[in-house]
């Protein structure tokens, strides 16, 4: 995208400091990002507040919904540009970005356009002491200016997942995308401008977290709520930052997700599904399965089948349609993932496949690829089974009873997602319900209905978004009680 500027109160602005945008497939510099300073963030927040006081604050729901539909149209019209930007920033395969990331960017706006149009609220007829009655009903109001902070793994998808409901509810937004993936957020700002979103309603400030745009946003007294997706440790830092101004938060954080494979599963479907849960987006998905538990009689066959799957992945250039697996996002993240590979060996793991860096003999050797990796043989208490790695790696362990599988799956401080693989209907329901997490899939993974609650327990987050749960976070309910 070349030079990448913040979008503040309807204008693209530069600043004095810039940082490089690196292409993860070969380490090339593909752009320069101007970092928003405190004054730029102030300007964005002030512009957003003014927008709320202007026509945007009085826009009827049907007009807001129509605008959301036009934003979706705008993303679809510029689909190829969004695709190019997402690929340049992340190195993810075109097959993935064109199937998941960009379509979901548009879908998020369409879905919340429909949801806001069809949403209703509760009302109660209340008996009063004088023998009469009162009518209670709630009205939904925007929360105000929402700070949206998002990570690099699914940049457009995760940004729009929050921006769409925030705008649907009539808020103004100041968004800070990850410093690793600034491009699609900037393109989204262009689309907003093209389709007539009023100045100040949607702002993008580029930069880092601490002592940069992220922190300027979370500590800003003009921000009314913070919605954040990212690491659990960052969530903790943001909680501390918002405490003095008591801002409500919605947090979608890390995971150390389990997949439980029973002996009665549909074997082919399960191997395909678990392979996707482990290796999709090079394992950089908060919902990815990093701990696989397999019923003992199936264990050896399953490990072997997953090994074959891992070794058949195509680690290629992002624009090659045959590529299934891209690089990790950065050199720093690759160092982290490789340190976990080494830790696993120190802890006594047997490496079934992978464990290192692939060699290509071309420009990809300057990129941030790692080998898809399968580990076995570790204790449940090993750090490898406790800490989120966020790479294309899993540990597989056998189990003997349903109770043992549930106990192991739940033995984590995280609690985002899980999957259960079985053809035994009652067992599927029973095990799913006994898992301590926000989302459990049975015989599938990452099948999404955007009306359903999404979020985690423990270190995996605070609150739920999706459908009316998003409306509840992005609006304030005012109950009106009328004596009849």
Q: Which residues are marked as active site?
A: 252, 286
Quote the least distance from Cβ 284 to ligand NAD, whole Å: 7
- Is the CB of 66 or the CB of 457 nearer to ligand NAD? 457
Residue with smallest beta-carbon separation from ligand NAD:
209
317 vs 314: CA distance, rounded Å: 9
Q: Using CB distances below 5 to 8 A depending on partner kind, what does residue 12 bind out of ligand 6OD, ligand NAD, none?
A: none
287 binds ligand 6OD (CB under 6 A): yes
159 binds ligand 6OD (CB under 6 A): no
153 binds ligand 6OD (CB under 6 A): yes
- Is the CB of 57 or the CB of 103 nearer to ligand 6OD? 103
Identify the sign of the CA torsion 406, 271, 278, 305. positive
Q: Site mask, ligand 6OD, residues 161-200, x = CB under 6 A?
A: x---------------------------------------
Nearest to 462 by CA among 319, 254, 308: 254
Q: Using CB distances below 5 to 8 A depending on partner kind, what does residue 316 bind out of ligand NAD, ligand 6OD, none?
A: none
Q: Using CB distances below 5 to 8 A depending on partner kind, what does residue 183 bind out of ligand NAD, ligand 6OD, none?
A: none
Residues 285, 292, 382, 396: which binds ligand 6OD (CB under 6 A)?
A: 285
Q: Using CB distances below 5 to 8 A depending on partner kind, what does residue 149 bind out of ligand NAD, ligand 6OD, none?
A: ligand NAD
Q: Kindly list the distances between the CA atom of residue 167 and the CA atoms of 48, 148, 454, 459, in Å, as whole numbers in the listed order.
A: 12, 12, 19, 28
- Is the CB of 218 or the CB of 323 nearer to ligand NAD? 218
Residues 203-262 that bind ligand 6OD (CB under 6 A): 252
Nearest to 414 by CA among 232, 199, 262, 157: 232
Quote the least distance from Cβ 305 to ligand NAD, whole Å: 27
Q: Using CB distances below 5 to 8 A depending on partner kind, what does residue 224 bind out of ligand 6OD, ligand NAD, none?
A: none
Q: Quick one: which H or E segment has residue 48?
A: helix 38-53
Quote the least distance from Cβ 19 to ligand NAD, whole Å: 12
452 vs 131: CA distance, rounded Å: 41
Q: Using CB distances below 5 to 8 A depending on partner kind, what does residue 409 bind out of ligand 6OD, ligand NAD, none?
A: none
Quote the least distance from Cβ 47 to ligand 6OD, whole Å: 27
- Is the CB of 323 or the CB of 460 nearer to ligand 6OD? 460
Which CB contacts under 8 angstroms, 24+ apart, belong to 118-127? 119/468, 119/471, 121/477, 126/481
Phi/psi of residue 257, nearest 5 degrees: -80, 145
Q: Quick one: which H or E segment has residue 300?
A: helix 299-311
Segment lying near ligand 6OD (by CB under 6 A), choices 43-51, 279-287, 300-308, 335-343: 279-287
Q: How far is CA 308 from the centre of its chain?
A: 29
Does residue 223 contact residue 216 with C-beta atoms inside 8 Å? no
Q: Using CB distances below 5 to 8 A depending on partner kind, what does residue 105 bind out of ligand NAD, ligand 6OD, none?
A: none
Strands of 296-452, DSSP E: 350-353, 373-376, 393-399, 417-421, 439-442
- Is the CB of 137 or the CB of 208 nearer to ligand NAD? 208
Please count the CA atoms within 13 angstroms of the CA of 18 that sit on its side-chain side: 15
Number of CB atoms found within 10 A of residue 222's CB: 17
Nearest to 256 by CA among 76, 65, 390: 390
Quote the least distance from Cβ 440 to ligand NAD, whole Å: 15
Q: Which residues bind ligand NAD (CB under 6 A)?
A: 149-153, 158, 176, 178-179, 208-210, 214-215, 218, 229-231, 234, 237-238, 252-255, 286, 388, 390, 416, 456, 461
- Is the CB of 373 or the CB of 460 nearer to ligand NAD? 460
Quote the least distance from Cβ 438 to ligand 6OD, whole Å: 11
Q: Quick one: which H or E segment has residue 225?
A: strand 225-229
Quote the least distance from Cβ 216 to ligand 6OD, whole Å: 25
Identify the sign of the CA torsion 314, 318, 152, 30. positive
Residue with smallest beta-carbon separation from ligand 6OD:
286
Q: Kindly list the distances between the CA atom of residue 406 and the CA atoms of 245, 261, 424, in Å, as whole numbers in the listed order.
A: 40, 11, 16
Q: Using CB distances below 5 to 8 A depending on partner kind, what does residue 448 bind out of ligand 6OD, ligand NAD, none?
A: ligand 6OD
Residues 409-468 that bind ligand 6OD (CB under 6 A): 448, 454
Does residue 210 contact residue 238 with C-beta atoms inside 8 Å? no
- Is the CB of 147 or the CB of 355 nearer to ligand 6OD? 147
354 vs 339: CA distance, rounded Å: 14
Q: Using CB distances below 5 to 8 A depending on partner kind, what does residue 369 bind out of ligand NAD, ligand 6OD, none?
A: none
Nearest to 360 by CA among 326, 335, 408: 326
**DSSP output for 348-382:** T-EEEE--S----SSGGGGS-----EEEE---TTS
Segment lying near ligand 6OD (by CB under 6 A), choices 11-19, 153-161, 235-243, 321-329: 153-161
Residues that bind ligand 6OD (CB under 6 A): 153-154, 158, 161, 252, 285-287, 448, 454
């Amino acid at each position: 995208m070349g030079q990448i500027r913040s979008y503040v109160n309807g204008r693209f602005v530069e600043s004095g400091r810039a940082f490089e945008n690196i292409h993860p497939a070969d380490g090339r510099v593909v752009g320069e990002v101007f970092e928003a300073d405190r004054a730029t963030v102030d300007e964005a927040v002030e512009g957003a507040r003014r927008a709320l006081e202007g026509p945007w604050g009085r826009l009827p729901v049907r007009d807001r919904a129509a605008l959301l539909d036009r934003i979706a149209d705008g993303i679809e019209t510029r689909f190829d540009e969004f695709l190019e930007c997402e690929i340049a920033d992340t190195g993810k395969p075109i097959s993935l970005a064109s199937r998941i990331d960009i379509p979901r960017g548009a879908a998020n706006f369409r879905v919340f356009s429909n949801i806001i149009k069809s949403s209703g609220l509760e009302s109660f007829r209340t008996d009063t002491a004088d023998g009469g009655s009162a009518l209670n009903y709630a009205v939904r109001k925007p929360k105000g200016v929402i700070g949206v902070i998002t990570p690099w793994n699914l940049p457009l998808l995760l940004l729009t997942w929050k921006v769409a409901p925030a705008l649907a509810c009539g808020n103004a937004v100041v968004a800070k995308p990850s410093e690793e993936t600034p491009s699609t957020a900037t393109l989204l700002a262009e689309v907003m401008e093209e389709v007539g979103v009023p100045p100040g309603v949607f702002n993008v400030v580029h930069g880092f977290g601490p002592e940069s745009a992220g922190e300027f946003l979370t500590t800003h007294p003009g921000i009314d709520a913070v919605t954040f997706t990212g690491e659990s440790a960052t969530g903790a830092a943001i909680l501390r930052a918002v405490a003095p101004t008591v801002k409500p938060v919605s947090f979608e954080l890390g995971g150390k997700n389990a997949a439980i494979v029973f002996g009665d599963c549909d074997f082919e479907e399960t191997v395909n599904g678990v392979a996707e849960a482990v290796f999709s987006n090079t394992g950089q998905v908060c919902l990815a399965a990093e701990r696989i538990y397999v019923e003992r009689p199936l264990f050896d066959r399953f490990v072997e089948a997953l090994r074959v799957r891992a070794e058949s992945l195509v680690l290629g250039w992002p624009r090659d349609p045959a590529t299934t697996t891209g690089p990790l996002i950065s050199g720093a993240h690759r160092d982290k993932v490789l340190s976990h590979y080494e830790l696993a060996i120190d802890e006594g793991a047997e490496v079934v496949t992978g464990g290192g860096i692939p060699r290509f003999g071309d420009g990809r050797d300057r990129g941030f690829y790692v080998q898809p990796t399968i580990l076995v043989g570790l204790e449940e208490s090993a750090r490898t089974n406790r800490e989120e790695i966020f790479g294309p790696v899993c540990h597989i362990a056998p189990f003997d009873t349903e109770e043992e599988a549930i106990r192991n799956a739940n033995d984590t401080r995280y609690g985002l997602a899980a999957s259960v693989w079985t053809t035994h209907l009652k067992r599927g329901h029973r095990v799913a319900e006994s898992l301590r997490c926000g989302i459990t899939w049975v015989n599938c993974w990452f099948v999404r209905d955007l009306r359903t609650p999404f979020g985690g327990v423990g270190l995996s987050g605070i609150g739920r978004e999706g459908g009316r749960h998003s409306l509840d976070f992005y609006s304030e309910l005012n109950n009106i009680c009328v004596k009849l």
